[in-house]
Structure formats: C-alpha cells, structure tokens
C-alpha cells in the first residue's frame, strides 16, 4: 500500500527532478549526438562494433531513466532503439535515423 504524499513533499521532489534534468542536459546532448552518429553510420552501412555497443548502452540507460523525468514516450523510443541495436537484423538499422530524430524532438523540442 502506498501512502499519498503531501503537496509540499511532491513540490520538493518535482523541484529536485527539474534540477537533476537541467544539470544533466550537457550529458544528454552528448548521448544524443552519439546516437545520431550511430544512426548515420548505420544508414551508410558503416556502423562499427564499438559505436554500436556505445549507442546500445546509451539507449539502455535512457530507456531506464527517462520515465522518471516524465518522458514516457522518450522511454519507448529509447527502448525501440535498444531493440534494434541488439538485433542481428541490420535491415532494421535504417529506422534508427528516424528514431533518434524523434527522441531528440521529444526530449529537447528540436
């Protein structure tokens, strides 16, 4: 059974989450840039094993954390990116460019 929070505690948690989000925006930009690069390289059939692994790790981290900040759709997109990168079906890689652009739009409005 979960007890309801009082409004003051909810406001504190909300402010903390906003602060954490803003503090981690530079890291988010770096991670999105890596996902963009991986998608671009995958689209040209030149995705290295190392970049694929790095992008997979980033997608996994994002799929696990974005919901906490209220970005449920971002979680779903990151999870889809993760599934594609784990897949041995490289014919699905062409979809990564669309997904990374959608993720960026969802998280940053850009």
- What is the model's pLDDT at position 1? 61
Residues of the chain with pLDDT under 70: 1-3, 110
Please, are residues 84 and 96 in contact by the beta-carbon 8 Å criterion? yes
Determine phi and psi for 88, rounding to 5 degrees. -90, -5
- Write out the residue range of the structural domain in which residue 36 sits: 13-108
Within a domain: residue 4? no
- What is the model's pLDDT at position 14? 84
Within a domain: residue 44? yes
pLDDT digits (tens, 9 = 90+) for 50-76: 999 999 999 999 999 999 889 999 999
Within a domain: residue 3? no
What is the DSSP code (8-state) at residue 88?
Answer: S
Model pTM? 0.87
The CATH number of residue 77's host domain is 1.20.120
Within a domain: residue 55? yes
Dist. CA 73–CA 104, nearest whole Å: 11
The tally of domains found in the chain comes to: 1
Does residue 18 sit in helix, strand or coil? helix
């Amino acid at each position: 059974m979960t007890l309801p929070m009082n409004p003051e505690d909810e406001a504190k948690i909300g402010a903390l989450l906003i602060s954490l989000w803003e503090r981690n925006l530079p890291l988010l930009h770096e991670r999105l840039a890596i996902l963009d690069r991986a998608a671009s390289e995958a689209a040209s059939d030149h995705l290295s094993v190392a970049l694929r692994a790095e992008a997979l790790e980033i997608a996994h981290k994002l799929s696990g954390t974005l919901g906490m900040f209220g970005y449920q759709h971002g979680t779903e997109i990151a999870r889809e990116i993760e599934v594609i990168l784990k897949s041995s079906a490289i014919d699905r890689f062409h979809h990564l460019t669309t997904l990374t652009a959608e993720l960026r739009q969802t998280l940053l409005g850009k």
